[in-house]
Amino acid sequence: MEHDNSRLIILASGSPRRRELLALLGLPFEVISSDADETTPPGLAPDDIVRSLALRKAEAVLSAAGGRAAVIVGSDTIVVLDGKVLGKPADPDDSRAMLQLLQGRTHQVYTGVACIGLPEGKTLVEHRVTSVALRAMGSDEISAYIATGEPADKAGSYAIQGLGATLVERIEGCYFNVVGLPLSLLGKMLSDFGVSVLGRHGSH
């Protein structure tokens, strides 16, 4: 396939973490924050939740993309323990409850990625799952971690790329998936739109 790296990547997310990850690919991109409704019907499977929300976020910025040659990228991440979805905590008490559930156990992190190619409107939606084992924590440790403010806006109330790294014993799967944007998956998806992450560095 002919590679066309003149296509702009549009990240449909206000997340600074996703922005930092996308920047690692060295492709030109801009951010258009998506204020999509993030409610899903009860009983939806975790993979369906992240896939539908990723697509909804990408679709929400379609009109703002202004008909340029671009690929819109939407992404959504949730934490799942024993089939129960843990979203972002409502308050510090909610953070405490989540961290008490997660400590000493292995949970799954699901991230959905949706790409919409413009102007042709081709859409791809995929997801990845990573297993994360958190070490056992005492109540004082949980309090100290909440006091740092880091868990406040994170699914599952921890950040693997921050101080939360000290809570993580083991992961199985893509690390970047846990941060919020699985880069190996995204690179593969972008190549389907003719955008080559590695091909632009020198001839191919």
Active site residues: 76
Give the three-state DSSP class for 40.
coil
- State the Cα–Cα distance between residues 11 and 179, nearest whole angstrom: 15
Apex 56 CA angle, 50 and 60, nearest 5: 145
Helical segments of the chain, H only: 16-23, 46-60, 92-102, 139-147, 175-179, 183-191
186 with 29: CB under 8 angstroms?
A: no
